Amino acid sequence: MRKRLSRIYSFQMFFVVTFFVLSCGLASCLDEAEEKVEIDNSAPAQVSDVQAVAGPGEVNLSWSIPASKSFMYTKVEYTDVKGKRQYQIVSKESVDADGRCSAKISGFVNTEPVKFSLYACAVKGNNLGPVEMEATPGAPAFIAVAQSVSIEPDEGGALVNYSNEFSVSAFIELDYHATSDASKSGMVSIEAPANTTGSQWVRFSSADSFIAGEECIVSIKGKDLVGNTSESRQVTVTPVPVDKVSRTDWSFPGYDDNSDSQTNGYSSQETKGEGGTPNGRVIAMIDGNVNTFWHATWKSKGTTYPHWFILDMGKNVKVSSVELLRRQGKNGAKCQTGQQFYVCAEENAKDPANPDNWEWEDQGAYSFNASLETPQAYRMKGTPSVRYIKVYFGEKYKGVGDQAMLAEINVYTVK
């Protein structure tokens, strides 16, 4: 027993001594490393030659950085429109070939002077105090854009006309409701890109139904990228009435319930992996059930873009707008992000077996918000009289993965 205890004691002593030696050696190495890494936190010289140029609702600052070795970044402080102290950090790594750094300070709603404080800082923030510059922002774009807006009635909604002569984008927010029934209401936000004059169709709807043929009160506001808004102004407009086209005669050319392969009417459909008819098939888009859906094929062969389908309405119809509804209750990121519309009149489809030879009219490309489970409507140019509508999902509209899917398609015509 004594020998055993002696061996245990010897082992413990060996462990303690070894740990002590290793610890001392490691500490010695760390001490040497610390001696070699010297952090210079001395206050660098100040920035110099500060310049300011006004922009729409913003000030663009530029300055020369100091040559001090301890200089790491510039801290730009200012007070925002809400009276809160804000700052931007500009690293010395962003210096240009002339030894200057710059910062764009946005979000101002008036043209009152703003004081900016620029601190040249060492790695731990040490500095010699600020260099101060007072500058005046330019008139904000969103206020002028909101004032430029005019609204005119159109089929199922209105045309929103705007002018943005500024170098930054602005947003136009519309809140609308029927004059006779405030519960029939909705809101929409549209972007007015920088340096553009344009017109955008806006659908007026409530609970997924058009508000048409009724006078509406519209409140118009401008908004910038940081959330500042202008005062609202009101106008009235009466959208032109539209009707949903009956689906009685609708079909997809060459439809085969048991085949995934391409036909004259679609690039593919999924007949095996989505639970049986009508799920996965193109006909699910015209069955009136939002919980069924078309899905491009994926089980029997890989799905690749482009995807497309052709809707045959059975006769020529004056098409005002087309409405698409995404697959419900599914991760929208896997959906397409946009589509192209083409239309063809009955008399221009002279070779029924080969739609590629038809006289298609390009109705333009539109974005599709894959996160929305509500209908998204698209105005057709000139309300064309057509029988066939081709919805084309090109490679550029690919979401996460190669899938494309829709729950429903509707078509609206003028009354």
Which CATH number goes with the domain that contains 380?
2.60.120.260
CATH code assigned at 231: 2.60.40.10
CA–CA distance, 123 with 146 (Å, rounded to integer):
44
In sequence order, the 6+-apart residues with CB closer than 8 A to the CB of 6 are none
> Is there a single domain that holds both residue 312 and residue 368?
yes
C-alpha distance from residue 222 to each of 33, 140, 142, 216, 358 (Å) = 58, 10, 5, 19, 44
> Is there a single domain that holds both residue 226 and residue 202?
yes
The verdict on residue 23 lying in a domain is: no
Specify the pLDDT at position 329. Answer: 86
> Is there a single domain that holds both residue 287 and residue 408?
yes
Query: Do 356 and 253 meet the contact criterion of CB atoms below 8 Å apart?
Result: no
Pairing of strands 157-164, 150-154: antiparallel
Specify the pLDDT at position 36. Answer: 56
* Domain termination site, one of 240, 269, 302: 240
Specify the pLDDT at position 292. Answer: 96
CA–CA distance, 258 with 377 (Å, rounded to integer):
31
Q: Within 10 A of 361 (CB to CB), how many other CB atoms are there?
A: 17
Residue 84 DSSP symbol: -
Pairing of strands 294-295, 405-406: antiparallel
CA–CA distance, 74 with 92 (Å, rounded to integer):
7
> Is there a single domain that holds both residue 173 and residue 212?
yes
> Is there a single domain that holds both residue 295 and residue 401?
yes
The verdict on residue 339 lying in a domain is: yes
* Domain termination site, one of 212, 240, 268: 240
* Domain termination site, one of 108, 135, 162: 135
Overall number of domains in the chain? 3
Q: Find, among 302, 298, 279, 299, the residue nearest to 289 by Cα.
A: 279
The verdict on residue 119 lying in a domain is: yes
The verdict on residue 27 lying in a domain is: no
Buried b (16+ CB within 10 A) or exposed e, 87-123: ebebebeeeeeeebbebebbbbbeeeebebbbbbbbe
> Is there a single domain that holds both residue 103 and residue 153?
no
> Is there a single domain that holds both residue 290 and residue 398?
yes
> Is there a single domain that holds both residue 296 and residue 400?
yes
The verdict on residue 22 lying in a domain is: no
Digit-coded pLDDT (tens) for 204-239: 998 778 898 999 999 999 999 889 999 999 999 999
Question: Domain limits at 215?
Answer: 141-240
In sequence order, the 6+-apart residues with CB closer than 8 A to the CB of 78 are 85, 86, 87, 105, 114, 115, 116, 117
Digit-coded pLDDT (tens) for 244-283: 999 999 999 999 999 999 999 999 999 999 989 999 999 9
> Is there a single domain that holds both residue 287 and residue 404?
yes
The verdict on residue 213 lying in a domain is: yes
> Is there a single domain that holds both residue 125 and residue 155?
no
Specify the pLDDT at position 25. Answer: 46
What's the rounded mean pLDDT across residues 164-172? Answer: 95
Mean pLDDT taken over the chain: 90
Specify the pLDDT at position 166. Answer: 94
C-alpha distance from residue 205 to each of 178, 184, 208, 318, 386 (Å) = 10, 8, 6, 20, 25
Q: Is the model's pLDDT at 184 over the cut of 80?
A: yes
> Is there a single domain that holds both residue 292 and residue 377?
yes
Alpha helix positions (H), 73-203: 141-148
What's the rounded mean pLDDT across residues 175-182? Answer: 96
The verdict on residue 42 lying in a domain is: no
> Is there a single domain that holds both residue 182 and residue 226?
yes
Q: Is the model's pLDDT at 13 over the cut of 70?
A: no
Digit-coded pLDDT (tens) for 14-30: 433 343 333 444 444 44
The verdict on residue 110 lying in a domain is: yes
pLDDT above 90 coverage of the chain, percent: 81
Q: Is the model's pLDDT at 10 over the cut of 80?
A: no
What's the rounded mean pLDDT across residues 66-86? Answer: 96
Query: Do 409 and 266 meet the contact criterion of CB atoms below 8 Å apart?
Result: no
pTM over 0.75: yes
Specify the pLDDT at position 14. Answer: 41
